[in-house]
Amino acid sequence: MSATSPDDRPRILLCNDDGIHAPGIQSLASALDGVGKLCVVAPTTEQSAVGHAITVRDPVRAHREEFEVPSGPIPAWGVTGTPADSVKLACHELLDAPPDLVVSGINQGPNTAVNVLYSGTVSAATEASILGLNSIAISLCDWSEPQFEVAGRWARRLVEWTLDRGLPRGVLLNVNVPALPSDEIEGAALTRQARSRWEETFEERTDPAGQPYYWLAGTFVDLDDGQETDLSAIDRGYVSVTPIQHDMTAYDAFSSLQDWDWDESAEEDESGWE
C-alpha cells in the first residue's frame, strides 16, 4: 500500500478572536501538527466579544504572516477584520479549496452559557457552520495564567473524532476545557448551554478633556442548577462539549404561540397603527 500524499490530508483552517499572534492559536496549531494540512487565517488584532460582527463599511485587508509549527512553516494570513470576516475571506478568496474542518481557538477564558452569544471565537466556528463546514470552537477556562497544552491535547482528540465521524449539518461543537492539569480532568461530557446573564453596571469616568465616558463592568450570574450544563461540567472537572447551531428558532414556543390569531386581518386602530 502506498503512503498517503501530504496533499491528501484533511485541510484544517485555524482562526480565533484573540489575534493571530496570540499564544492560544499557536498552541492549537502546534497541537494539530500532523493531523492535517494546516492553514491559519485570523484577525491581526484582538477581537474578543465582537460576536458575529462582519465588516461592511470598511475594506478588509489580508497580509501574509510567518507562522510555524514543530514540523515547519504553514500558510498564514492576518486579516484586518473580525473572526467571522476571517473565515469568510479564507473560504471565498484566500484558500485554493474549502477546508474540511475549521477550528477556532484556543481562546483565553471560557465561552460558556450566555457568553456564547458574545464570543468571536464561537462566531468564527459558527460562520464556518453557516458555510456548510464542520467546525469546532475551543476555549480554556483560565484568564490569569493560561497553560494551553492540555487544551491543545483535547483539541487534537476532538478534531480526530470530528474528521472521522463528521457532525450533523448545521451543528458545531463548542468546547470548554477546565484549567486543570491533565491528570485531574475527569474526561469529556456532552453538555447543554447553561442559562445565565450578566448583571451589568457602567462606571462613569472623565477623560482629560473633562468629557464623561463609561466603562462596562458586571457580575456573571448562573441561573441554571442542572448537572448537564457546560458550567456544571467545568465545575466538576470535565471538558464541556456543547453541540450548538445558528438556527435560533425557539421551536418549543410554537405550542404556546399557535393559538394567537395569526390569520386575523389587522384593522386600523384609533392611533393610526395597522
Q: Give the pLDDT of residue 45.
A: 95
> Residue 161 carries which side chain, given as an amino acid letter?
W
Q: Is 9 exposed, middle or buried (0-12, 13-18, 19+ CB in 10 A)?
A: middle
Q: Give the pLDDT of residue 267.
A: 59
Number of other residues whose CB lies within 10 A of the CB of residue 150: 23
Q: Give the pLDDT of residue 5.
A: 56
H-run or E-run covering 212:
strand 212-222
Q: Give the pLDDT of residue 1.
A: 38
Exposure string over 165-188, b if 16+ CB within 10 A, otherwise e? eebeeeebbbbbbbbbeeeebeeb
Q: Give the pLDDT of residue 57.
A: 94
pTM value is 0.90
d(CA 66, CA 233): 37
Q: Please, are residues 89 and 81 in contact by the beta-carbon 8 Å criterion?
A: yes
Number of other residues whose CB lies within 10 A of the CB of residue 243: 14
In sequence order, which residues have a C-beta less than 8 Å from that of residue 248 and are 6 or more positions away?
none
Pick from 35, 38, 243: nearest CA to 156: 35
Q: Give the pLDDT of residue 244.
A: 96
The x, y and z cell numbers of residue 73, run together, are 512553516
In sequence order, which residues have a C-beta less than 8 Å from that of residue 192 and are 6 or more positions away?
226, 228, 229, 230, 242
Pick from 48, 51, 28: nearest CA to 39: 28
Spans in the chain with pLDDT lower than 50: 1-2
Collapse the DSSP code of 266 into the 3-class scheme (helix H, G, I; strand E, B; otherwise coil) and give the result: coil
Collapse the DSSP code of 231 into the 3-class scheme (helix H, G, I; strand E, B; otherwise coil) and give the result: helix
